[in-house]
């Protein structure tokens, strides 16, 4: 199995870990706040570092025992991040100097014997660089002055991170970056950003040439976002799947503030489970919770498969349908995981639940449903089976020749309606990318193809090519 290298950012609280995380990422993802314990779990994102894709991990930091309510759990998560990392960036405060907690972190890091880079933050002016030398006392060779605010030292830090990676992981990171660039090219075709590339593709298809999807055949972990309203049992499910206390499980509402990722291997299959803060109604989102809401949306965006958790006792709600709709808008495969089935007392309650599911999720009849009890670990094998099946469809490729034969057959059965007294023709098409399966079709009047005909075409193509459990994306362009 190929995987991306893991780079963990560790240190005591309020030294600038989350600021550095956001700086390396190139956008704001980690929640930055001076309130102790804001970052409690690990926050994980894929980042591009000098044309290499890595998994970047932000942690809540190593804290004093009684620093806040989740102090013990936060420190435990930081330790696990150190254990899983390929390279560790140890952030310290250059203006404050060495703190006893820095020495504690250094002691932990030496135990793991991983490559460590000490990033001395808040070195905002050249005359402050003398403050850096004292940090060699922590016992590490690589000590770099940085300023996350002024972007000082960030290019050097990136170079050092890549230098410390094992060659195999470095190559894997480079290939992953190249695959993403090829996927971006397909998006340019779809958006019409590059008319020359679009024209070239149309001419190629007219000649009957095969279009190859420019994605390497390399097995990757399946990214699974676990989403839903608060207190649906998302963290409990994550822990049941992982078999360890990976997410902090608590009865306090809003415990999971950030989207956190966990790598899990089951047999020959590799997964990345993304646990998220519960998605509330927009009107009820305040301050830090607003950022958690954005993280949940981002988790859906990053996922290959979305597991939507629904409470069996409460039944599905309009809010659950909205969350499913958010995933559907992004063409994500969805599996509805109906949790807490152990609370259903009799057949009547089961029948009531089935009726409600049919009603609330009538717009995604193709989405599989799995009935589970995360607490009692029931139904988890079936859930993993459905996730794998959805991913297989999500990454499936259809050859151009086969696609156009099917398209011609469909056009013989049902032609698009006339548009402004003009006959609408669909000439040919091809699959331009996977994740989601995306088909580009050329027509003389793309604007004249009504929604009803698009739905007919989508349903028939899904049926024909085995996309029976997932949405597919069809884009029309003018020839």
Asked if the domains 6-165 and 195-212+397-478 are classified in one and the same CATH topology, the answer is no
Kindly state the average pLDDT of the residues 65-86: 64
The 10 Å CB-count burial string (b at 16+, else e) for 286-316 is eebbebbbbbbbbbbebbbbbbbbbbbeebb
Q: Residue 42's pLDDT is what? A: 56
| Residue 30 confidence (pLDDT) above 80 | no
* 8 Å CB contact between 339 and 312: yes
Give the architecture (CATH level 2) of 195-212+397-478.
2-Layer Sandwich (3.30)
Pick the CATH number of 6-165 from 3.40.50.300, 3.40.47.10, 1.20.120.1200, 3.40.50.720: 3.40.50.300
404/345: higher pLDDT: 404
pLDDT of 274-313, one tens digit each? 867 544 455 554 544 455 566 677 889 889 999 999 999 9
> 369: which strand partners?
336
- By CB atoms closer than 10 A (0-12, 13-18, 19+), residue 255 is buried
Helix orientation angle between 167-191 and 195-206, rounded to the nearest 10 degrees? 80
pLDDT of 425-443, one tens digit each? 999 999 999 999 999 999 9
| Residue 38 confidence (pLDDT) above 50 | no
7, 81, 84, 73: which is closest to 247 by C-alpha? 73
> What CATH code is assigned to 222-394?
3.40.50.300
Q: Residue 295's pLDDT is what? A: 66
The pTM assigned to this predicted structure is 0.67
pLDDT over 90 percentage in the chain = 55
pLDDT of 44-53, one tens digit each? 788 999 999 9
Q: Residue 257's pLDDT is what? A: 41
Mean pLDDT of the chain: 84
| Residue 177 confidence (pLDDT) above 70 | yes
Maximum Cα–Cα distance across the chain: 82
78, 91, 82, 86: which is closest to 39 by C-alpha? 78
Confidence of residue 122 (pLDDT cuts 50, 70, 90): very high
Kindly state the average pLDDT of the residues 344-358: 94
Give the span between the Cα atoms of 136 and 115, in whole angstroms: 15
Question: Where along the chain do its domains lie?
Answer: 6-165, 195-212+397-478, 222-394
Q: What are the contacts of 131-135 at 24+ separation with CB within 8 A?
A: 131/94, 131/95, 131/97, 132/94, 134/97, 134/98, 135/92, 135/94, 135/98
Q: Residue 215's pLDDT is what? A: 56
CA atoms within 13 A of residue 449's CA, in its CB half-sphere: 24
Q: Residue 293's pLDDT is what? A: 60
Q: Residue 469's pLDDT is what? A: 96
Kindly state the average pLDDT of the residues 120-133: 91
Spell out the alpha helix ranges (H) of 303-371: 318-329, 347-360
| Residue 75 confidence (pLDDT) above 70 | no
Confidence of residue 74 (pLDDT cuts 50, 70, 90): low
DSSP 313: T
Q: Which residue has the tokens 């020749």?
A: 401
pLDDT over 70 percentage in the chain = 84
């Amino acid at each position: 199995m190929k995987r991306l290298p893991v780079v963990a950012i560790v240190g005591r609280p309020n030294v600038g870990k989350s600021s550095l995380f956001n700086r390396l990422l190139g956008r704001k993802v980690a929640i930055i706040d001076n309130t102790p314990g804001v970052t409690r779990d690990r926050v994980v994102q894929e980042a591009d570092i000098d044309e290499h894709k890595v998994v970047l991990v932000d942690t809540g930091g190593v804290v004093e025992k009684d620093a806040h309510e989740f102090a013990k759990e936060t420190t435990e998560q930081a330790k696990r991040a150190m254990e899983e990392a390929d390279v560790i960036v140890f952030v310290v405060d250059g203006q404050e100097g060495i703190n006893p907690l820095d020495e504690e972190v250094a002691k932990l890091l030496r135990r793991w014997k991983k490559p460590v880079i000490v990033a001395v933050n808040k070195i905002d002016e050249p005359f402050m660089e003398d403050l850096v030398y004292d940090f060699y006392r922590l016992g590490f060779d690589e000590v770099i002055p940085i300023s996350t605010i002024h972007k000082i030292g960030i290019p050097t830090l990136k170079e050092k991170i890549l230098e410390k990676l094992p060659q195999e992981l470095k190559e894997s990171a480079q290939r992953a970056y190249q695959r993403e660039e090829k996927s971006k090219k397909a998006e340019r075709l779809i958006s019409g950003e590059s008319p020359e590339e679009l024209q070239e593709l149309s001419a190629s298809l007219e000649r009957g040439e095969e279009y190859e999807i420019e994605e390497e055949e390399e097995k990757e972990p399946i990214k699974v976002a676990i989403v839903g309203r608060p207190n649906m049992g998302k963290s409990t499910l994550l822990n049941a799947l992982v078999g360890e206390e990976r997410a902090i499980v608590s009865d306090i509402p809003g415990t999971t503030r950030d989207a956190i990722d966990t790598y899990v291997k089951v047999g020959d299959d590799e997964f990345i489970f993304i646990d998220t803060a519960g998605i509330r109604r927009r009107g009820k989102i305040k301050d830090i919770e607003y950022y958690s809401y954005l993280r949940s949306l981002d988790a859906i965006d990053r996922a290959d498969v979305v597991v939507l958790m629904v409470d069996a006792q409460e039944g599905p709600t309009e809010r659950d349908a909205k969350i499913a709709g958010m995933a559907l808008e992004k063409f994500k495969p969805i599996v509805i995981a109906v949790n807490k089935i152990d609370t259903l007392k009799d057949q009547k309650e089961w029948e009531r639940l089935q009726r409600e599911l049919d009603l609330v999720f009538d717009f995604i009849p193709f989405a599989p449903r799995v009935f589970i009890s995360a607490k009692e670990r029931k139904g988890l094998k079936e859930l993993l089976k459905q996730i794998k099946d959805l991913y297989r469809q999500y990454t499936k490729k259809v050859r151009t020749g086969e696609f156009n034969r099917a398209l011609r057959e469909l056009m013989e059965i049902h032609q698009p309606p006339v548009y402004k007294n003009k006959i609408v023709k669909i000439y040919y098409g091809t699959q331009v990318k996977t994740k989601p399966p995306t088909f580009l079709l050329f027509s003389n009047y793309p604007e004249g193809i009504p929604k009803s005909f698009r739905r007919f075409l989508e349903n028939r193509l899904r049926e024909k090519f085995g996309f029976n459990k997932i949405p597919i994306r069809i884009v029309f362009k003018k020839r």
